């Protein structure tokens, strides 16, 4: 999957898919940011990721490099 393939996919959809695949625990181990480790939620994580470009890039990169089974 390439960066161009992210076009049209919302950040919420990306995050939800990663949480469904890894769970908050594993996601927090792969991308060490507080919003994944301390009382995580989609809403609070989206708020942080929208304001923090480096963290958003890490989430998008993980999404692109993950081999989803479904």
The model's pLDDT over 44-68, given as tens digits with 9 standing for 90+, comes to 999 999 999 999 999 999 999 998 8
Cα–Cα distance, 11 to 61 (Å, whole number):
12
- Once rounded to an integer, what is the mean pLDDT over residues 11-32? 96
Q: End-to-end distance of the chain based on CA atoms, in angstroms?
A: 15
pLDDT-based confidence at 5, cuts 50/70/90? confident
If one counts every other C-beta atom within 10 angstroms of the C-beta of residue 62, the result is 16
Cα–Cα distance, 18 to 60 (Å, whole number):
10
Question: What pTM value is reported for the model?
Answer: 0.89
């Amino acid at each position: 999957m390439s960066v161009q393939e992210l076009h049209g996919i919302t950040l919420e959809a990306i995050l939800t898919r990663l949480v469904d695949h890894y769970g908050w625990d594993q996601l927090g181990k792969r991308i060490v940011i507080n919003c994944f480790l301390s009382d995580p939620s989609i809403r609070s994580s989206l708020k942080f990721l929208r304001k923090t470009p480096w963290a958003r890039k890490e989430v998008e990169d993980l999404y692109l490099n993950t081999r989803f089974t479904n």
